[in-house]
Amino acid sequence: MADMKNEPRTYVVTGAASGIGAATADLLAAGGDRVIRCDLRDADVNADLGTREGRDRLAEGVAAASGGTVHGLVAVAGVGDLSPAPVRVNFFGTLATLDAVRPLLARSDRPRAVVVSSLSAIVAADENLAAACLSLDEEAAAEAAAKVVAAGYGQTVYPSSKLALNRWLRRAAVGPDWAGAGIPLNAVAPGVVDTATARRFVLDDPAAREVVAAMMPQPLGFPGPVEAVASLLAWTVSPGNAFMTGQILYADGGAEALLQP
């Protein structure tokens, strides 16, 4: 994705050790750009975004590895556990990542940022839990998630964290810290794609696969290809994306169009 002057850009990709994050990091690197890979392990910067210590480690590691300038951020890192972890990682960890990298983006030419959401945010989210996240009180939101899990609805925590992320992004992207600073910020919301995580939780279980395919019908195929999502993520942080911000882009094989015509 190097620009027309063939000047390599520096990208930060979280969740880069596997799945969509790995595919996106590989695509950006194949285009001649520099990629700082971040994940729990096996990365340039190893950090747990579910903890404050891990978020500090990410901020320090990215600042050191980048030399102080980043052209694009692809925030993929997320978890789908039936616990409060998605609230801490997917929502608060992503916001902390954006906050840490934003000053480095502001120093670059044509900065861009994108986060990974999910089609599930429009299918199975808990409005009250999403609102708890948007209060920006992490401990209160994690406590609300724990109550949802204890009540037997742990499967709603992941989509709720993504719904909250969508709503936060729509508000923040057009504000002074992002659009006001010349930094387009968008989200890509995949449907079910063929990753190791999807195989473990959905695709390898015939019953689960049938239920999820019915809830999230994908006319272009179920599951979808990882490479298609990576390609869209790479474009959103490229110089070519010069006038789009605050958008949720559904890379879901047409599911969102069927569910919300």
Torsion of CA 207, 212, 214, 215, to 10 degrees: 140
- Three-class secondary structure of residue 169 per DSSP: helix
Q: DSSP per residue over 25-87, as a string?
A: HHHHHHTT-EEEEEESSSSSEE--TTSHHHHHHHHHHHHHHHTT--SEEEE------SSSHHI
Residue 92 DSSP code: I
Q: By C-alpha distance, which of 190, 172, 86, 79 is closest to 129?
A: 86
Considering the candidates 11, 153, 158, 250, report the single residue annotated as catalytic.
Answer: 158
CB 249 within 8 A of CB 232: yes
Per the structure block, which two tokens stand in for 127?
A: 């409005």
**Cα 159 from Cα 59, distance rounded (Å):** 26
CB 216 within 8 A of CB 192: yes
11 catalytic residue (yes or no): no
Per the structure block, which two tokens stand in for 200?
A: 């473990």
Task: Give catalytic residue positions.
Answer: 158
